[in-house]
Amino acid sequence: MMNKPFDYFAPKSISEAVSLLKKHGSGAKLIAGGQSLVPLMNLGLAAPRQIIDLTHIKKDSLSYVKLDKDSLMIGSMTTHSAVENSPQIRRHCRILSETAMTIADVQVRNRGTIGGSVCHADPAGDYLAPLVAVDAEFRAINPKRKVRTISADKFFVDIFTTALKRDELLTEIRVPKRPSTRNGSAYVKHKYVEGGFAIVGAAAVVSVNKDGICDRAKVVLSGVSTRPVRVDMIEKEFRGENLDERAIEEAGRIVREAVHDPLSDIHASADYRREMAVVFAKRALRLALARSRKTGAQHN
């Protein structure tokens, strides 16, 4: 149970929230759905001096799904349930909808937010690998109303650590739109219990040309290191190649070499995580490839 007092603030605007962050510094914590911070507080693993509750900010300021010419835009306070069920996300970023479906249970998905999850930056968090795989960008605002854009590759720095500055608030996640045909993606994970965090997660994005030859193949792993592991060699090796079963097996070998020093904990040893990274990376690639080759397959 929570046994340390804290000051509670309920800002009504984004400007007020970032001003409070600047005023209180590192002792302050933002709370969105509360599905990450509150359990840590109950366990005594987090003891913020100030809580800044974002749920009183006008809903459409931070909770939305929008499209423009080039991007799919998702507000940071958009719930997992909304990500799962949004027609726009299902059409333009299928991998995020499918990822949201794997998170915890219905109650958690109705409260937890995509922004809260990525800012928590748990290495086993489900969104991390897919967001890197689809080249997402994160937009953050500071008290001077200056907006900074951070690529997903650079956003996740270390365990429970992001590139956000202490006075910045994540406002939006952007995913570039791609053609709706000959693109496929998949996220699969090895979990301890149904809906649980990923012991190993693998996100794959594949695009092929009209002849079925690979234009792009990307694999990103979660759960195996303190931050998502982008397997760059797969991107280099398979462009312009036929992604047959031989190539998939070769991708598995590349993954094994890329996972240098995997995490080890009560759920899985380092060696086990490395082997599961190989297994699930190949599964994600096969599924993404199958989707890319279907006529009219939707991107991600």
Residue with tokens 């007020």: 16
Residues 149 and 262: beta-carbon distance below 8 Å: no
| pLDDT higher than threshold 80 for residue 68 | yes
CATH number of the domain enclosing 15? 3.30.43.10
| pLDDT higher than threshold 50 for residue 248 | yes
| pLDDT given for residue 296 in this prediction | 44
Residue with tokens 């709706």: 180
| pLDDT given for residue 1 in this prediction | 63
Residue with tokens 């406002």: 171
Residues 39 and 137 reside in one and the same domain: no
Residues 231 and 288 reside in one and the same domain: yes
Closest CA to 273 of 284, 259, 287: 259
Residues 80 and 149 reside in one and the same domain: yes
Residues 83 and 93: beta-carbon distance below 8 Å: no
What is the β-pairing status of strands 156-158 and 161-162?
Answer: antiparallel
CATH number of the domain enclosing 150? 3.30.465.10
Would you give the DSSP letter of residue 30? E
Give this prediction's pTM: 0.94
CATH number of the domain enclosing 190? 3.30.390.50
Residues 288 and 216 reside in one and the same domain: yes
Contacts (Cβ under 8 Å, ≥6 apart) of 156: 118, 121, 128, 132, 162, 163, 227, 228
Instruction: Classify residue 1: in a domain, yes or no.
Output: no
| pLDDT higher than threshold 50 for residue 110 | yes
Strand arrangement of the beta sheet that strand 50-53 belongs to:
7-9, 50-53, 28-31
Percent of the chain exceeding pLDDT 90 equals 85
Instruction: Classify residue 298: in a domain, yes or no.
Output: no
Max intra-chain CA distance, the chain: 63
Residues 45 and 68 reside in one and the same domain: no
- H or E segment at 148? strand 147-151
